[in-house]
Structure formats: C-alpha cells, structure tokens
Structure 1
Amino acid sequence: MQARIRVTAGDSRDRLRPLMSWLRAEDELRGQLELTSAAPAPDEMGAVADVLTVALGSGGAAAVLARSLSVWLRQQRSDTTIEITTAGDGARSVKVTAQRVEDAEAVIKSVLDAERER
C-alpha cells in the first residue's frame, strides 16, 4: 500500500522536505519515502505540488507513520494541514490540520487501516 502526503499551506514545499527528514528518522519508514510530483487537481492551474509518497508494507509501518505525523503536526508553530491519500481501488483521503484535531494519530491511522483491510 502507498500513502501520499501533501502539505497544503502557502509554504508547502518548505515544510514537505523537513517532514521527509522527520519521517526518515523512523526505522520502519527509512527507505520507503520518495518525493514525487502530483498532477494538479481539476480546479488548480499552473505548477504541480510536491508529494511525499510512503510505501507501507505489512507490519506496523502504518501505525508508525500515523504516530510520527501526529507528533510532527503538534510541533508546527503555525496552522499546518496535511492531506493523506491512499492508493488502490478503495482509495481514501483525509485532511488533518494541526491545532484543530484533538487526536490526529487516530484519524490518520483510521484512514491507513481502512485501506489495508481492503
């Protein structure tokens, strides 16, 4: 399974690269991360946005990703929104905004687990 992570803020590219470095510190995610480009959404024009793609194999990688993302979000000094989309037939997507979700880890994990169960 793959999860694609976008930081949807004015300085998204400036935040995505540090997020990638943050996630690389997790043993279960090391070597599973790739910075890619996403096609613009139908309502977007111009440049494409950077996306962090995470390959999640079996085991606890999804739980590690959910925990690590929630900690990273809590450490952001300004409002930060990330959008996580899973690939596959039953693709799912969730947006989580720092300072507005009480339990970001549970929300992120529910999306990742739902895709895995398919």
Structure 2
Amino acid sequence: MLVVVRLSVEGENSADTVRDLYAWLSQEPELRGRVRIVEGDPEPGALGPVVEGLQMALGAGGAFASTATVLVAWLRSRRGEVSVKLSRGEGQPSMEVTAKGVKDLDVAAAKALTEQLTQVLTDAAAADTDGAQGS
C-alpha cells in the first residue's frame, strides 16, 4: 500500500528551499524515485512554472522512518524561518514542523520528534489500509 504525502515549505526563497529539501530526500536510498517536485501554472507574465512543494509516494517499511529522519536533520540545518507541512490532501490530518522549533532540540528531543513524524506517516498508511478494506 502506497501513501501519498505532500510536503509544502514556507520561508524565504521557498522554491529554492523546496529544491534543497528534494535533494536531501532524494539522496536517501529508501526514498530515491519516490519524491517529485510539484509545480503549478506560472503567474501571468512570469516565466516557467511555480514550485508548489513535494509529493512523496511511500510504501510500508523503512520509508516512513527515513522520511522523518531526513526532515528533522534538514530542519536542524536550516537558518531563519522555515516550516514544512506534511499532509495527505484536503480535509486530511496534517502536521507542521518549523526549523525554529527543531534547531535547538537536544538528541533525545530530536529522536522523539523523528518518532512522532514516523508515527504520523504510519497512521496515514494504516488509515489508507482500513479505508481500502472497508470498501
């Protein structure tokens, strides 16, 4: 069962920030080929599409933990006001994490946050599986 997760990034130069996060996620062996940049139509008069965020297709197993680990490490490396919102779509539960809230975490707190993110992704997969069985 695949879970599709959307990541949106807010902060300065959000398009460049999205590309940077994409590079981090794409370097993780369990996530290669599962992450893509989502682009929208350009604003009138603008050249090229607008980077809106990332979309990930995650299967069961280590992909959830790998995603959470990379996100926490990436946020800890950021400067300034940057936030990442994970969602599965409109009307679905979401979670937002900020660099400001992650940067100063000690090792135990960073591990706890990683576990919480992993659980959010795992719960999303379980909800998809329950919905498929109930159909």
- TM-score class, shorter: 0.7 to 0.9
Q: Structure 1, residues 34-76: CA drift from partner, whole Å, max 9, x if none? A: 111369xxxxxxx965110011012110110001100000000
Residue in 2 that maps onto 1:26:
28
- The correspondence of residues 31-110 of structure 1 with structure 2, limited to 5 A, is 31-37=33-39, 50-87=52-89, 91-101=92-102, 102=105, 103=110, 104-110=113-119
> What is the count of residue pairs matched by the alignment?
110
| Alignment match, 1:3 | 5
How far residue 82 of structure 1 moved from its aligned partner, in angstroms, is 0.5
CA distance in 2, matches of 1:29, 1:49: 20
Measure, in 2, the Cα distance between the counterparts of 1:15 and 1:21.
Answer: 10
Please tell me whether the aligned partners of residues 86 and 96 of structure 2 are also in contact (alpha carbons under 8 angstroms).
yes
TM-score (norm 2): 0.71
Offset of residue 26 of structure 1: 0.3
1:51 is paired with a residue whose SS is strand
CA distance in 2, matches of 1:26, 1:49: 22
Question: Is the 1:86–1:112 Cα contact (8 Å) retained in structure 2?
Answer: no
Segments of 5+ residues of structure 1 without an aligned counterpart are 40-46
* TM-score, normalised by the number of residues in structure 1: 0.81
Q: What is the letter of the counterpart of residue 9 of structure 2?
A: V
Q: Which residue in the other structure is 2:18 paired with? A: 16
After superposing on structure 2, the runs of 4+ consecutive aligned residues of structure 1 that deviate more than 3 Å are 101-104
Q: Secondary structure at the match of 1:100?
A: helix
Question: Which 5+ residue runs of structure 2 have no aligned equivalent?
Answer: 42-48, 128-135
> How far is 1:79 from its partner?
2.4
Max Rg structure: 2
Q: State the distance in 2 between where 1:108 and 1:38 align.
A: 27
Identity %: 33
